[in-house]
């Protein structure tokens, strides 16, 4: 029996997916969470083989959760399920070792087959999404990405420096590099551009 945790911030969608997957003989939904932090709490308590997670959620995004799972629970496979087919998301997810990238509008059979394929050691990415990810080059470094994301949330340079354990001068350098790479007018504009592309 394949033990699955579902992470999705919309209660109706979360409940519907859990109900549909529970109908399958070989899949057991062992829990549901509405964001990444709640999912990590459940992972500490439950025996889980697979995590099926949305990307855009409050508290902790699906990509941040994926990073945590890869570091703490390397044996757990992660599958992303989203409405947003942003190339930056796909590329980052693949780099983190995500085993499947499924669009929410896909039929239930597709989702079920994707879970089974991942169990059998395969990767499931829609060919169009894979091509989109290959064509898109994210110019930001990991540090620039983190700095610009926090700037986009309204944090000042000193606050970003404290969060990232860096000096204010280093943070200013990361922000100005990101602004230049994205041809943005300022840090907020850079964060907006990066978010639109799925890079943060």
Give 82-140 pLDDT, tens digit per residue: 876 676 777 788 888 899 988 888 888 999 999 999 999 998 887 667 666 666 677 89
157-174 mean pLDDT: 94
Q: How many Cα atoms are found within 13 Å in the side-chain-facing hemisphere of 118? A: 27
Domain positions in the chain: 2-135, 142-197
23-37, 40-54, 125-139, 174-188: range with lowest mean pLDDT: 125-139
Looking at residue 105, its pLDDT comes to: 83
The pLDDT value recorded for residue 133 is 64
Which letter, b or e, does each residue of 27-60 get, where b requires 16 or more Cβ atoms within 10 Å of its Cβ? bebbbbbbbbebbbebbeeeebbbbbbbbebeeb
Q: Which CATH number is 142-197 given?
A: 1.10.10.10
Q: What's the whole-number average pLDDT of the chain? A: 89
pLDDT, average across residues 168-196: 90
For position 18, what pLDDT does the model report?
Answer: 95
The whole-number pLDDT of residue 165 equals 94
**In whole angstroms, what is the distance from residue 92 CA to residue 146 CA?**
13
Q: What is the CATH number of domain 2-135?
A: 3.40.50.2300
Confidence check: pLDDT of 195 > 90: no
Q: pLDDT band at residue 181, thresholds of 50, 70 and 90?
A: confident
Report pLDDT for 189: 87
Is the confidence at residue 29, as pLDDT, over 70?
Answer: yes
DSSP-based three-state secondary structure for 140? coil
Average pLDDT over residues 145-161: 94
Per the document, the length of the chain is: 200
pLDDT of residue 169: 94
Sheet hosting strand 124-125, strand order edge to edge:
27-33, 2-7, 50-53, 77-82, 100-103, 124-125
Tell whether the model's pLDDT for residue 56 goes beyond 70.
yes
């Amino acid at each position: 029996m394949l033990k699955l945790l579902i992470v999705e911030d919309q209660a109706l969608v979360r409940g519907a997916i859990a109900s549909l997957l529970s109908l399958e003989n070989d899949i057991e939904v062992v829990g549901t969470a509405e964001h990444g932090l709640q999912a990590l709490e459940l992972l500490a308590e439950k025996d889980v083989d697979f995590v099926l997670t949305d990307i855009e959620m409050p508290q902790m995004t699906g990509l941040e959760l994926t990073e945590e799972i890869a570091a703490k629970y390397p044996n757990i496979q992660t599958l992303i399920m989203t409405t947003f087919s942003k190339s930056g998301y796909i590329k980052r997810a693949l780099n983190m070792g995500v085993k499947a990238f499924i669009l929410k509008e896909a039929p239930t059979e597709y989702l079920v087959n994707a879970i089974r394929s991942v169990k059998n050691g395969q990767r499931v990415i829609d060919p169009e999404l894979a091509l989109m990810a290959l064509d898109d080059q994210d110019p930001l470094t990991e540090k620039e990405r983190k700095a610009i994301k926090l700037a986009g949330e309204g944090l000042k340079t000193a606050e970003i420096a404290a969060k990232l354990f860096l000096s204010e001068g280093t943070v200013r350098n990361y922000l100005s590099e990101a602004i230049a790479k994205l041809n943005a007018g300022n840090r907020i504009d850079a964060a907006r551009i990066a978010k639109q592309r799925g890079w943060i």
